Chains A and B, each alone.
Chain A
Amino acid sequence: MAVSLREYRARIKSTQSMKKITRAMELIAASRIIKAQQRAQAAAPYARELTRAVSAVATYSNVDHVLTTEPESPQRAAVLVVTSDRGLAGAYSSSVIKEAERLVEKLKGEGKEVDLYLAGRKGEAYYRFRGRAVAQAWTGFSDSPSYDVAAEIGATLIEAFLNGAGGAEPAEGSTVAGVDEVHVVFTRFVSMLTQEPNAIRLLPLELAEGAEPGSTDLLPLYEFEPSPEEVLDALLPQYVVSRIFYCLLQAAASELAARQKAMKSATDNAEELIKKYTRIANQARQAGITQEISEIVGGVNALADANAGSD
């Protein structure tokens, strides 16, 4: 009995230190999530103004741009999957990957080949372990993405799209395989409690013409300098990068929220376990004492019997 009592005490101790760790992680995630939300809010004006500008150009000029043109028969698609760098965030990464797998299946069902682009170490580990080809992976920023990272990812994806899969020769010196469409799978931050994995098609762009939703007044008749084509040419890549940045920021906030939730339930579980083990340990200790007393009583009785016999 004494052995198992020691065992239980050791278990209580290790659970307690585990609880301290999960509790600390919960608090860290909780404080970072506020920062992540602030960053998402700070990036919103840029996205809003950019969207306004793009829809202004799209409304007042009939410009066809290569980034908005649907390829006639898409053969190859790129999928960017935004996962986290670290685990301990509950089902966060696996639910994004599940959504991505669904999208890949769907695209394959439409007869398209799929190139995988990954953001975050977890996604990379998942696909590399399964020996699946990965076109490119970016890691090391999942909980605080910077605009530069989004710009880099955007440049690669735009290059892939511009190369095209439809037999067109890739641009000279370009090592990126061409694709006809680009999809992004990321986690949308709905609230602290809900984060939804989401798949959107990034390229070719679907431009919403006309005034932005929510405003009733028409967009003014802009004068474009140097020309509508050139303005659009400069605007659209920025727009794409800004969309990717938005996805990364949403994913970062979702990751932290998922981690906070996961760590909170881990802490609660640890508390439960400690309670349970303490009870069992107390029982074991009590049982040990009871046994000792009955042994002593038995010994005393035996002695008394032996003495009575010899008298």
Chain B
Amino acid sequence: MAVDVGTGLQVEMVAADRVVWSGEASMVLARTVEGDVGILRGHAPLLSLLTDAAVEITSPDGIVHAVVDGGFVSVADDRVSILTQRALLAEEIKIDEVHAELEAAEHLPTGDEREERIRRAEARLRAYEASRG
């Protein structure tokens, strides 16, 4: 049973300048522009756009929480790759900086930049809190 949980999906989370996480997992939860998507073994080939949001990977060593700034998810033959310009694992998130960023963004004039920065900071916050349980 334990074997069954661990294997199933080969997951690679790749940022522009490094591989953030890679390994085996039983499930990947991500938020695409169309809504949340859960990927299990045998998922149909998919290429979808992600929004700035938290990503959850259920691996044999526990759930990996991460946050992506947009990007793509592609699924094929039980291989999941999450491609994004910038990605952070929950333990890499510096919560003080996120709070400061959120504060700074809220003082910006209303506009796309403000929206984007708030959205990104909130996604980090959610990923951080999710990893804390």
Question: Interface of A with B (CB < 8 Å)?
Answer: 39, 42-43, 45-46, 49-50, 52-53, 56-57, 146-147, 150-151, 219-226, 230-231, 234-235, 238, 241-242, 245
Q: Are A223 and B74 interface neighbours, CB within 8 A?
A: no
The answer to whether A42 and B81 touch across the interface, beta carbons within 8 angstroms, is: no
Query: CB-CB < 8 A to B72: which residues of A?
Result: 53, 231, 234-235
Q: How far is the CB of B75 from chain A (nearest CB, A)?
A: 8
Among A52, A151, A224, A225, point to the contact of B85 (Cβ < 8 A).
A151
Q: Summarize B's interface: helix, strand, loop or mixed.
A: strand
Determine the chain A residues whose CB is within 8 A of the CB of B76 once the complex forms: 219-220, 222
The residues in B between 20 and 53 inclusive whose CB is less than 8 angstroms from any CB of A are 32-34, 44-49
Q: Of A42, A150, A223, A238, which one neighbours B45 at CB under 8 angstroms?
A: A223
> Could you tell me if A222 and B47 are in contact, using CB atoms closer than 8 angstroms?
yes
**B: contact size bracket:** 20 to 34
Assess the B14–A225 pair: CB atoms within 8 A.
no
Please encode chain B, from 43 to 83, with 1 for each CB lying within 8 Å of some chain A CB and 0 for all others.
Answer: 01111110000000000000000000010101011000101
A-chain residues with CB within 8 Å of residue B77 when the two chains form the complex: 220
Q: Which 4 A-B pairs have the closest CB atoms?
A: A225-B48, A220-B45, A147-B16, A220-B76
CB-CB nearest in chain B for A223: B46
| CB of B19 closer than 8 Å to a CB of A | yes
Beyond the given A42-B17, A49-B12, A57-B47, please list 12 additional residue pairs across the A-B interface where CB-CB is below 8 A.
A46-B15, A53-B72, A147-B86, A220-B77, A222-B76, A223-B45, A224-B47, A225-B46, A225-B49, A226-B33, A234-B49, A234-B70
Chain A, residue nearest B72 (CB) = A53
24 residue pairs bridging A and B, Cβ less than 8 Å apart: A42-B17, A43-B18, A45-B12, A46-B16, A49-B74, A49-B81, A52-B74, A53-B72, A53-B74, A56-B74, A146-B17, A147-B16, A219-B76, A220-B45, A220-B76, A221-B45, A222-B45, A223-B46, A224-B46, A225-B33, A225-B34, A226-B49, A231-B72, A242-B16
